[in-house]
Amino acid sequence: MIIGSHVSFNKEQLLGSAKEAISYGANTFMFYTGAPQNTIRSELNSDLTNKALTLMKENGIDIKNVICHAPYIVNLANNIEPEKYEFAKRFLRSEIDRCIKLGIKYIVLHPGSATKLERSIAIDNIINALNDIIKDDDSCMVILETMAGKGTEIGVNIEEIETIIKGVNSNNIGVCLDTCHLNDSGIDLNNFDTYLNIFDKHIGLDKIKCVHLNDSKNEVASHKDRHENIGFGTIGFNLLMKVAYHEKLKDVPKILETPYVGDYAPYKLEIEMIRNNKFNPNLKDELINN
């Protein structure tokens, strides 16, 4: 299984991210190229990138499975303020260029939030923006994340994702499934096979390039988007393992975005638990007490 977690991207850039992932026993990871809440980005240091690539190779992390996440503040759905819309487009383009420099193949994007706009207009804004941004021959693909439906989020069902993908002229676009978001948007993961069948008919399973593996603090269709540690939420361990071990998703990287337990990163223990396919009900206690 290709599994890792989100990690930080700090002074040591990709090298620091790789070190953190390795400390969790992961064979992939996801990072932001700077703070997810802002657009301040440091200059990439090619020496650190090269060191990261060497370290990753030595530790069985294939760069083609490593994922970048675009900052939350990029909202391509809203063009009410044209300067902000243009800035969001330029910024996403520069993030793609950073990924290309690092050798990263996929960047996850939240499609956007409609805010005061009609949803169909918001979706058109996203499509137009992506048509300006995405190039066929980019070595890094934008992948749209399935969203929980908090506030006015776009991308809350197969239909909206399909409309965006079909509206984009390039084929260089994919999808990232987030299990917490699917649950919160109204998909009961007991019916995950049905979901995949419908997804395949409308979009194609080959478009799924990443899975965010998270439990949820809330019930199906709650539209909340609050992640929980694996097996400690409303989805539960067994259903999450059905997704993690699904034959049709076996080559797709799985990324944990579960919360810290107190001050402690849970990823090493969660990855162990997932690889063993056995729930550890003491995971939170072990983290706090050790």
CB atoms within 10 A of CB 128: 16
d(CA 60, CA 18): 11
CA angle 115, 116, 121 (to 5 degrees): 90
Applying CB under 5 A, the site for Zn ion has a residue count of 1
Q: Give which of Zn ion, Fe ion, none residue 212 binds (C-beta under 5 to 8 Å, depending on kind).
A: Fe ion
Q: Is 145 in the site for Zn ion (CB under 5 A)?
A: no
Nearer to Fe ion, 95 or 178 (CB): 178
Alpha-carbon distance of 195 to 190, in angstroms, equals 10
Q: How far is the CB of 217 from Zn ion (least distance, A)?
A: 11
Give whichever of 15 and 96 is closer to Fe ion, judged by the CB atom.
Answer: 96
3-state secondary structure of 262: coil
- CB 180 → Zn ion: shortest distance, Å? 6
| Span of 28-36, 139-147, 235-243, 273-281 interacting with Fe ion by CB under 5 A | 139-147
Answer for which of 225, 253, 274, 283 binds Zn ion (CB under 5 A) is 225
* 95: contact with Zn ion by CB under 5 A: no
Under the binding rule (CB under 5 A), the answer on residue 215 touching Fe ion is no
Binding Fe ion (rule: CB under 5 A), the pick from 212, 213, 215, 270 is: 212
The number of C-alpha atoms within 13 Å of 172 and in the hemisphere containing its C-beta is: 18
CB atoms within 10 A of CB 78: 21
**CB 147 → Zn ion: shortest distance, Å?**
8
Helix residue ranges per DSSP H, 25-169: 46-58, 82-102, 119-133, 158-167
Residues in the site for Fe ion, rule: CB under 5 A?
Answer: 145, 178, 212
